[in-house]
Amino acid sequence: MLADRTTLARFLDAERRRHPGAVGDLNSLILDVAIACKAIAGRVAHGALEGVLGAEGTVNVQGETQQKLDVLANDIFLRATEWGGQVAGMASEELDDPYGIPAEYPRGKYLLVFDPLDGSSNIDVNVSVGSIFSILRAPEGTGETPGPEAFLQPGSTQVAAGYAIYGPSTMLVLTTGRGTHGFTLDPRLGEFILTREAIRIPETTQEFAINASNRRFWEPAVRRYVDECLAGRSGPRGKDFNMRWVASLVAETHRILTRGGVFLYPRDAKDPARPGRLRLLYEANPVAFVVEQAGGAAHTGRERILDVTPTALHQRIPLVFGAVEEVERIAKYHVENVDSGVDTPLYGTRGLFRAAN
């Protein structure tokens, strides 16, 4: 029975009561985001039955071909959250510039940034996709529609963040800074129900995720780490590893939150103009917040993700996250390679002078 379960609304209300001065605006915004995720889940589930699969025929600011569901999901997010008076502005992967709240709606004290449909390259093959979101505080006292500079806040300033995953079941994973919690959508009730409270990522793992086809472009630190994992029980790590790659950040994150592991989308030389591939504001930052609140770590290889000060709305960045032990090892290897970007086979882990562990 519903009375025996904790709904998302009940959970958020209990959290609000910990802060006597809170008026519930953040709760209302999160619940509006949840409504958007429910609507997107329904469209994803119906797929070809509603004619929403395939390319839209347009290109977004990232230079990527938009899928029909990318555009639809973006519109659902905007419509679900613009009217309630909680947000002053929004930014999306699918929009070149920040979205201003229509004049007929009141403005609030938060900024919402989101990737409306992460992993959209997997839509047509029926692999799990999702939505990622981050909530920031809007600058006070301007009275104007926030420009791009208002969104350029370090991830450590996030008020809340999370993602929805549209798979065999739809789940919403959320943090407001007091742990990471998972809610499963009960389609019979139309409610998100708390099913995983205070998620913790295992401290050690034998599983990593990386796109191995890019190996020739990796920095020496990344090649060293992956080579050691692949060497297995007979190598320096002394244990066998499994490798995974879904090409959906939400799916990768959810797997690591469920059974542990480490994910790498590192800096590489494939496109020198891009120091990384994932978007800082609406992918890396919310994932890092969720992961850290679950006892994990998130890093660029050179610094903690949540300490990075953004310089552009659609800035890309390397991302390594998961079990603390593995993330720290990868960061250590970057330091030991002095960020040279040059492979030195005579002095590397596979050369004549094997580095000590």
Closest CA to 95 of 148, 156, 36: 148
Closest CA to 11 of 136, 126, 147, 176: 176
Q: Token digits for 170?
A: 């739809």
285 is in an annotated binding site: no
| CB-based contact 104:78 (threshold 8 Å) | no
**Distance (Å, whole) CA 22 – CA 54:** 44
93 is in an annotated binding site: yes
Q: How many CA atoms lie within 13 A of 133 on its CB side?
A: 31
121 is in an annotated binding site: yes
118 is in an annotated binding site: yes
248 is in an annotated binding site: no
119 is in an annotated binding site: yes
According to DSSP H, which parts of the chain are helical? 8-16, 25-46, 68-81, 220-231, 249-259, 285-293, 324-336
96 is in an annotated binding site: no
| CB-based contact 119:165 (threshold 8 Å) | no
**Distance (Å, whole) CA 111 – CA 130:** 20
| CB-based contact 236:329 (threshold 8 Å) | no
Q: Token digits for 24?
A: 């519930």
Please classify residue 143 by burial: count the beta carbons closer than 10 Å to its beta carbon, then call 0-12 exposed, 13-18 middle and 19+ buried: exposed
Binding residues for Mg(2+) are 93, 115, 117-118, 283
**Annotation: binding site:** 93, 115, 117-121, 211, 283
Binding positions for substrate are 118-121, 211
